[in-house]
Chain A
């Protein structure tokens, strides 16, 4: 079974700081996803990364993918309180079997 490991599991940071969330996976995969989940809410798709070296950016979030290292990163630049949420990476296998990481709970303090 494909394993997806995220770290850190918890991240408390000050506004204005930068940080990176890491997502490692165990087996070659088709695609890598990043989702955001606010407390008590559903999952919101942030990024889909398809190929080695893919980089996508939206606002203060930037995601990248290194398929050789089986590693994806979600970089947060100059964090703001509105980014506080739980972030999940997920890896797709055989196009429709999705394995999720444990999630990173991000708390951005004013």
Chain B
């Protein structure tokens, strides 16, 4: 199936640990994103990569490090996990930008629910 996929779907870990979340898209898109959705459902963009290059880096602690080995993958590594990192993390992708009249939709992955205890 063509889609944006994330692994794992659930991640429970203790404070201080380091963990990674993987994202893959087979839609042929150029741009990939990471979002954080907190317990109040608020969604905030964290990072965006275009053709493996970081183009958006919002005010995210440097414990969070994205890595894009190729256009189809964008992984998120989190060091020294804290309680406040508990959230749902969504990966998304969007097609190449071809002009202002294009709909330019984002396609979201299923999310990874991270629980830090």
B94 interfacial by beta-carbon distance below 8 Å: yes
A-B contact count (CB 8 A): 58
Which one of B13-21, B44-52, B64-72, B74-82 is at the A interface? B44-52
Cross-chain contact B43 with A96 (CB below 8 angstroms): no
What's the interface size class on B, roughly?
A: 20 to 34
Cross-chain contact A42 with B41 (CB below 8 angstroms): no
Cross-chain contact A43 with B45 (CB below 8 angstroms): no
Cross-chain contact B50 with A96 (CB below 8 angstroms): yes
Give the residue of B45, B55, B97, B100 whose beta carbon is less than 8 angstroms from that of A98: B45
A97 interfacial by beta-carbon distance below 8 Å: yes
Cross-chain contact B106 with A45 (CB below 8 angstroms): yes
Interface of A is mostly: strand
Cross-chain contact B42 with A99 (CB below 8 angstroms): no
A106 CB to closest chain B CB (Å) equals: 12
Q: What 1/0 flags go to A10-46 for Cβ under 8 Å of B?
A: 0000000000000000000011010001000111010
What's the interface size class on A, roughly?
A: 20 to 34
Task: Give A84 to B100 CA distance when docked, in angstroms.
Answer: 33
With a CB–CB cut-off of 8 A, which chain B residues contact A102? 40-42
B101 CB to closest chain A CB (Å) equals: 7
Within 8 A of B (CB), among A48-105: 48, 50, 86, 88, 90, 92, 95-100, 102-103, 105
A selection of 16 A-B contacts at a CB cut-off of 8 Å is: A33-B105, A33-B106, A41-B110, A42-B108, A45-B107, A50-B101, A50-B103, A92-B104, A95-B104, A96-B50, A96-B55, A96-B94, A97-B48, A98-B33, A98-B106, A103-B41
